[in-house]
Each structure stands twice: as C-alpha cells, then as structure tokens.
C-alpha cells in the first residue's frame, strides 16, 4: 500500500502541477506617508525573485551561471528609505525595477486627444515638456495592494479619474508568476472612461551581476525602429535598422557600436529607443536574447507587445548606490521595456494605446533565464 502511494506521489510530482513555487511575505519598510510596504519572495529550484508592493518593483532576481553559481541580475536598492540608496530617494530618477504607468514611455507635451476631446496630463520632463512614465506621481510611486496567487503574487492599483490628468478610473493588475526558469508578467486593466494605457516593467538587467553591460551580447528580433528628436519623441517614421548601429538582428555586443558617430546615439547618449518587434508577438517566439559571455547567463524575452524600449542606463551617474554598496554608473544595466510605442496617442499610424469601457487591456511578457 505504501509503495502504491509513493508511486502515485511520484507520478503527480512528474507533472507541471508539482513544480510549485514557494511564496513568502515580509515587511520592507514604509512609504513616504508611513504605510507599510511588503516584499514577496518567489522561489523555485532555479530562480529567486523578490517583488515589493511599492511601485510593484522587482528588487532582486537571483539566477545561476553555467556553473550553477547564483548572482542577482537586476539593479536595486537595499531598502525603502536609505539616503541615495533607497526606493524613496530614487523618486523617478531611474524607475529601477518598477511598473511604470499609466503610460510608460513618453507623451509629447503631455497632450493627446480621444474622440475629439483634448487632454493635458502632468509634464514631468520639464526641460523638454514631456510626460514620462505617467507623470510626476506615476504608478512607480504608488503602493499597490497584493495577494498571493499560485506560483506568485498579484498586485492591484486603482488609479482614479483625473490621476495625473488621465481620464477614467483605471483598475490595473500585474501578476508575477515563477515557473522554472521563467518569470511571467501578466498585465490587465479596465477603465470606466476612454483613456490611454501603456504598462511595462523598468528593470535594469546585468547578467554578469556587476560591472559594465557593454560586453553582453544582444539580439533583437526587429527589422525597424523609431528614431527620435532631441526631446526623445519619435519622429513618426519606422526606418530599417539595416546599416545602422540599431541592427541587432544578429548577436552583437551592446558596446560594439554605442559610441559610433550616429546622431540618434548622440541624442540619447547611447541606446534609448523603441524597436519594432517582428511578428508574431507571442510567448513562443523570442523577441530578445541577451547573453553574458563570461558567466553564460542568458535572458530570453517573450512578449505579446509590438515593441521594446532598449535603454543602456545612459543617465546612471553615480549618485545612487545599489545593494552592494557600489554607486550605479553609466552602462551598469540595460532595460528591455516591452511596450506599445512611445507617444502613440499622437501617432495614428502606431499601434493604438486607447482603452475603452467594456474592454480589457491585457499584455504578457516572459523573462527566461538560462545558462550556456
């Protein structure tokens, strides 16, 4: 009888259902208003991921190298309130690890029109007059509510009508789930008035665990990209990457052409551009593959989104300090913000970011960590 039970248990554990992720909860300081912030740790046999309710930040991802040695492959801070080394001090300087919204990336002049009605939303890039990542107090500066779900955590935020000037009460959910070597981010949202939405995660990756990311090898499945003006707003055209430093269709070190004599690179002080991902936009078709040659760690990104903003940490200037005690400097991390295109509300030819009552916004991105 005991052997039969053991056989049944072994059979069950061979199924996907047995690949259970453990989820634990612990305090992680307080918001500027004194509300408690919680940290959720997702752990399975391959990865450990830590997420906090403040800004729905990913604060840590421990992934093994080719020899099984773990390293934290995302940039982050040691606490909420440490001076120049905490999430409160960041205050929109880097958005490190957060979910940004209501509209990730930029809106020119903070202006757009829906159904003939003009809206002005909060402008927080004051030097150039743009709205960036939802305005001065975006979703990265809100304390989300959280609940444990199978293999992960679901975070919820209700953004009221008029929040940062955006129309409609928006209810947003982000579900982080861990399955083996894959971290899945599933976003959903609904609204009671027509609005615009573009949610994404702003993690800075460093597959070596520290040092420059310029030696890491990038491949982006994109034939086109969106050039920008001096205010980092798309010009509207979608030229080919062929013959430019933006051609990552074959594996290429990030730093191979970052200092080329190229106007677009000079405007952004490196890469900070949206790449138009080739279809199909599915979770079985790799959008981006990045490998660190020294450790063998490889990040593969799958997404249902039509674009990805590739940013090389150009404005990390040493004023903020990471968990290790070392200041974060230029090119210490790269971002892969899966998204709709920047300033889409003002470019009718771009994929629409309008969400209407009765519709459900839904996008999914998967970060897979392996080692070669």
Residue with tokens 């934290």: 72
Q: Is the pLDDT of residue 9 over 50?
A: no
Q: Which of 154, 337, 340, 347 is catalytic?
A: 337
Q: What is the model's pLDDT at position 17?
A: 44
Q: Where are the alpha helices (DSSP H) in the chain?
A: 2-13, 87-90, 263-268
Residue spans of the domains in the chain: they are 24-371
128-169 pLDDT, tens per residue?
Answer: 999 999 999 999 999 999 999 999 999 999 999 999 999 999
Q: What is the model's pLDDT at position 5?
A: 38
Catalytic (active site) residue 362: no
54-103 pLDDT, tens per residue?
Answer: 999 999 999 999 999 999 999 999 999 999 999 999 999 999 999 999 99
The least confident of 110-114, 222-226, 323-327, 340-344 is 323-327
pLDDT band at 241 (very low <50, low <70, confident <90, very high): very high
Q: What is the model's pLDDT at position 34?
A: 97
H or E element in which residue 72 lies: strand 70-72
Q: What is the model's pLDDT at position 225?
A: 98
DSSP 165: G
Distance CA 94, CA 106 (A): 14
Cβ-based neighbours of 353, under 8 Å, separated by 6 or more: 103, 196, 197, 198, 340, 344, 345
Q: Is the pLDDT of residue 11 over 60?
A: no
Average pLDDT, the chain: 95
SS3 category, 16: helix
The least confident of 9-13, 76-80, 114-118, 211-215 is 9-13
SS3 category, 328: strand
CATH of domain 24-371: 2.70.98.10
Q: What percent of the chain has pLDDT over 70?
A: 95
pLDDT band at 324 (very low <50, low <70, confident <90, very high): confident
Q: What is the model's pLDDT at position 3?
A: 44
Q: What is the model's pLDDT at position 18?
A: 53
pLDDT band at 8 (very low <50, low <70, confident <90, very high): very low
Calculate the CA 277 to chain-centre distance.
16
Q: What is the model's pLDDT at position 19?
A: 56
Catalytic (active site) residue 133: no
Q: Which of 57, 133, 202, 273 is catalytic?
A: 202
The least confident of 89-93, 111-115, 192-196 is 89-93
245-290 pLDDT, tens per residue?
Answer: 999 999 999 999 999 999 999 999 999 999 999 999 999 999 999 9
Q: Is the pLDDT of residue 6 over 90?
A: no
Calculate the CA 88 to chain-centre distance.
19
Q: Is the pLDDT of residue 354 over 90?
A: yes
Q: What percent of the chain has pLDDT over 90?
A: 94
């Amino acid at each position: 009888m005991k052997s039969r039970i053991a056989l049944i248990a072994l059979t069950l554990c061979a199924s996907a259902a047995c690949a259970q992720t453990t989820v634990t909860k612990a305090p992680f300081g307080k918001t500027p208003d004194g509300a408690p912030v919680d940290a959720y740790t997702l752990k399975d046999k391959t990865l450990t991921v830590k997420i906090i309710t403040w800004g729905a930040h990913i604060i840590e991802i421990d992934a093994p190298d080719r020899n099984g040695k773990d390293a934290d492959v995302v940039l982050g801070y040691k606490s909420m309130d440490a001076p120049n080394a905490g999430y409160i001090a960041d205050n929109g300087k880097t958005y490190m690890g957060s979910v940004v919204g209501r509209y990730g990336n930029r809106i020119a002049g903070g202006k757009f029109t829906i159904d003939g009605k003009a809206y002005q939303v909060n402008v927080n890039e004051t030097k150039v007059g743009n709205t960036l990542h939802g305005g001065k107090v975006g979703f990265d500066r809100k304390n989300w509510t959280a609940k444990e779900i199978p293999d992960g955590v679901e975070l919820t935020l209700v953004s009221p009508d008029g929040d940062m000037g955006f129309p409609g009460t928006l209810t947003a959910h982000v579900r982080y789930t861990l399955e083996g070597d894959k971290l899945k981010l599933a976003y959903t949202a609904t609204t009671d008035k027509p609005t615009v939405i573009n949610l994404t995660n702003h993690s800075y990756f460093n597959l070596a665990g520290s040092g420059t990311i310029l030696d890491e090898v990038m491949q982006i499945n994109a034939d086109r990209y969106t050039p920008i003006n001096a205010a980092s707003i798309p010009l509207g055209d979608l030229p080919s990457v062929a013959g430019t430093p933006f051609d990552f269709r074959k594996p290429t070190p990030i730093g191979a052409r970052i200092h080329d004599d190229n106007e677009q690179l000079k405007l952004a002080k490196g890469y900070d551009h949206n790449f138009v991902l080739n279809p199909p936009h599915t979770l079985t078709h790799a959008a981006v593959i990045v490998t660190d040659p020294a450790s063998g760690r490889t990040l593969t990104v799958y997404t249902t989104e039509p674009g990805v903003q590739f940013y090389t940490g150009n404005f990390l200037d040493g004023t903020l300090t990471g968990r290790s005690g070392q200041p974060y400097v230029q090119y210490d991390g790269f971002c892969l913000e899966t998204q709709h295109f920047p300033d889409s509300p003002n470019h009718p030819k771009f994929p629409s970011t309008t969400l209407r009552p009765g519709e459900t916004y839904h996008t999914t991105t998967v970060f897979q960590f392996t080692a070669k």
